[in-house]
Structure formats: C-alpha cells, structure tokens
Amino acid sequence: MNTFRGWPTQTLLMPDGGVVACLVYKTGKEPRFSLFEENHNVFRLDRACKVMWQVRRNEGGARAQWAQMREKAEADDSGDFEMHSPFLSMHLRFRDGSTNKDPMTEAGPPDACWVEGATVICRTLDSMTYELDVDTGIAVNVTPFGIRPW
C-alpha cells in the first residue's frame, strides 16, 4: 500500500498520471493530524505528487447545522470525537450501477484506475456517503436521511 504524509493510502490512478488518494487508518500509529486534516483526508495529487486539491465537503442545506458544528470543532481543533468523521474508503460506481467495492468491507481495492463516467463514492467513519468530484475535490453528502442505525 502506498503512503502519503505518513499515512497508508487508497489510490485512484488518473489518466494524467496523478492520483486521488484517501488517507486510511491501518495501524493506529499514523502521524497525528488536526481534526480538520483528519476530516479532509482525500487529496488529488499531480504526477509530481504536488497537491492539486484537498477535499471540501458539501453537506447540503438539510445538514447545515451539523456541518457548522463540525467546522467550528475543526477550527478549534477541539478533539471532539463526535466531530471526528474521516473518510475511510472510496470505490467507483459505474454507469451501469455496478461497483468495484468488496461486499464484505464496502471499500474499493487499494489501487484502482479511473473510468470515465464513473462516480467516486467515499464513506466516512460515521457511515456517511459522499459523491466526490475528482476535478474540483468537492464531496457532496448523499446519505439518505434515517440511514444511521441509532
């Protein structure tokens, strides 16, 4: 598995030679990041490994209050575990509805290649689902309401 900034990564190889990298927890010994860094742990890197973007979240209007609370905790670096919501994995959903995710782990393979027309799906620690735009780095929360078991 590749690493970026000392963290293991799940990577999506892009046609321009760059990658989309999701920093994932594996050993528990990864370097400590701020709450903001941990909650924004998906990057697009060019072929020289320079950061093109760091993921930005769009929670949508219905989740605006939660997003504001998370952003405040990130700004304060409060360490509030309830606001800890890193992306854990990503996978591709293809035009025909099929995916490249493992049904047991809900994650895609450690390394995959971008497929034109596919949608990148990112999952978070708190079971939220986002669609990631690989050009802009904006991840839109598409989790259906009432999905959480609690």
H, E, C per residue of 82-138: HHCCCEEEEEEECCCCCECCCCCCCCCCCEEECCCCCEEEEEECCCCEEEECCCCCE
Q: Which domain holds residue 83?
A: 3-141
Q: What's the structural domain count of the chain?
A: 1
b/e code 61-71 from CB counts within 10 Å (16+ = b): eebeeeeeebe
Is 147 among the domain residues? Answer: no
Residue 71 lies in a domain: yes
Q: Take residue 98 and report the two structure tokens written for it.
A: 């099929």
- The series of mean pLDDT values per 10 residues for the chain, 150 residues long, is 78 96 78 80 94 91 68 72 79 96 89 96 88 96 69
Q: What residues contact 83, with CB distance under 8 A and at least 6 apart?
A: 35, 39, 69, 70, 73, 74
- Token output for 102: 């493992």
For residue 146, being part of any structural domain is answered with: no
Asked if residue 120 belongs to a domain, the reply is yes
Rounded Cα–Cα distance for residues 125 and 121 (Å): 14
Residue 43 forms part of a structural domain? yes
Residue 102 forms part of a structural domain: yes
Please report the pLDDT score of residue 117 as a whole number: 95
Torsion of CA 124, 128, 133, 134, to 10 degrees: 20
pLDDT of the residue at 140: 94
Tell whether 149 is covered by a domain: no
Sign of the torsion angle spanned by Cα atoms 139, 56, 31, 66: negative
Q: What is the pLDDT of residue 149?
A: 46
Local structure of 45: helix, strand or coil: strand
The DSSP secondary-structure symbol of 62 reads G
Give me 23's structure tokens.
């920093």
**Residue 150 is assigned to a structural domain of this protein:** no
